[in-house]
Every structure is written in C-alpha cells, then in structure tokens.
Amino acid sequence: MITIYHNNRCRKSREGLGILERSGKPFEIRKYLEDTLSESELKNLLSKLGIKPIDLVRKNETIWKESFKNKDLTDAQVIKAMVDNPKLIERPVVINGNKATIGRPPEKILEII
C-alpha cells in the first residue's frame, strides 16, 4: 500500500497528492500533523528514505530556527525534535513498500509508484 504523509496546507504536498490521485493506484493519506509519528515510525521512515534525520528537517520552520538551529544535535535528538514538533518533518513523504521518497519536487513520487 502506498502512503502519503500529507499536510493539506502545503502546496507541494497537495501537488504530491494529485500525482497519487492521477496514478489510479490505491493509497492512503496520513495527516501527520494530526496523526503524529512515533519515534519508531520515524526511524523506520528514515531507514526507507536512506537519509540521516537532519535531512528530513524543515530548517526554515520557526520552531527549528528558535530552538534547534546552530546546536550540535545527535540523530536521536533530531528525531525527538521531529516527534515532538511534527511541523519540522519535510513534506510530502510517500512510502511504497520498502521504498520512500520526499516529494520535492513532487514528480519524485513517480519514481516509486
């Protein structure tokens, strides 16, 4: 099953959702700001993406700038920051089985569906 981690207020996330809708393939939407990720879910997502936690952070978010920027954080601390502040998670993220991608640009989603 394909899953999109979606924030409807984000234009890129809406574009990614449109790509999935046009694909005709079944998928589910996870509104990760409401249905937040646990630490283990986030670690699993990072593993599928094949990236370090810092690479999933939205570094222009006010929360990041005010609380975390220029600090020497461990991977575990970055993960905790994203679990505690899901707005910090880059979007959209799409998972298809053991593959995942950050939909930036949204067309990257096509590579895994």
Which residues of the chain are under the pLDDT cut of 70? none
To the query of whether residue 10 is one of the catalytic residues in this protein, the response is yes
2-111 homologous superfamily:
Glutaredoxin (3.40.30.10)
Q: Where are the domains of the chain?
A: 2-111
Return the pLDDT at 38.
98
pTM score? 0.94
Return the pLDDT at 97.
95
- Contacts for 55-59: CB closer than 8 Å, 24+ residues apart: 56/82, 56/89, 56/90, 56/93, 56/102, 57/81, 57/82, 57/88, 57/89, 57/90, 58/87, 58/88, 58/89, 58/90, 58/91
Q: Which of 2, 10, 29, 49 is catalytic?
A: 10
